[in-house]
């Protein structure tokens, strides 16, 4: 798994640092999305808030992770698919947030429909977030 992480960083012309490796590893070992606070909690005192924030921003800019808006106007992050690259995210899928456990899932098989905008408007990103009860909490 470490070689894969190092390859991802090198492919995106990023130096391999402990913080980048550890944060990317967290994303690879979670089934849902992570918030800044989740990463801060999991890393303990290894990295300060600014290092985590800068790492997340760099990963978003490079197309390694994508952002997911939340109901409370904060942001969560999830790994991008292979098609994403610096400045061009192609994660055009629906996200689901569980009201019970708080987990956010990428529903990769459900695409966001094309939105027809009025003349003169140009879309740069469309986000669809569905909230409810996930299959794990519904049992």
39-87 tens-digit pLDDT: 999 988 888 999 999 999 999 988 898 888 887 778 899 888 756 555 5
HSE, side-chain direction, 13 A CA sphere, residue 48: 1
Which residue has 């992050």 as its token pair?
Answer: 77
State residue 85's pLDDT score.
55
Instruction: Residue count of the chain, please give it.
Output: 139
- DSSP H/E element including 96: strand 93-98
Domain 2-138 is found in CATH 1.10.10.10: yes
pTM assigned to the model: 0.75
């Amino acid at each position: 798994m470490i070689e894969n992480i190092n390859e991802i960083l090198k492919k995106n012309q990023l130096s391999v640092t402990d913080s980048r490796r550890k944060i990317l590893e967290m994303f690879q070992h979670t089934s849902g999305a992570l918030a800044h606070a989740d990463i801060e909690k999991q890393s303990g005192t290894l990295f300060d808030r600014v290092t985590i924030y800068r790492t997340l921003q760099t990963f978003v800019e490079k197309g390694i992770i994508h952002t997911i808006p939340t109901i409370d106007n904060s942001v969560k992050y999830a790994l991008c698919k292979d098609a994403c690259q610096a400045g061009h995210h192609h994660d055009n899928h629906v996200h689901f947030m569980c009201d019970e456990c708080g987990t956010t899932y990428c529903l990769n098989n459900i695409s966001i429909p094309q939105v027809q905008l009025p003349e003169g408007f140009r879309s740069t990103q469309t986000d669809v977030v569905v909230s409810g009860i996930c299959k794990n909490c519904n049992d």
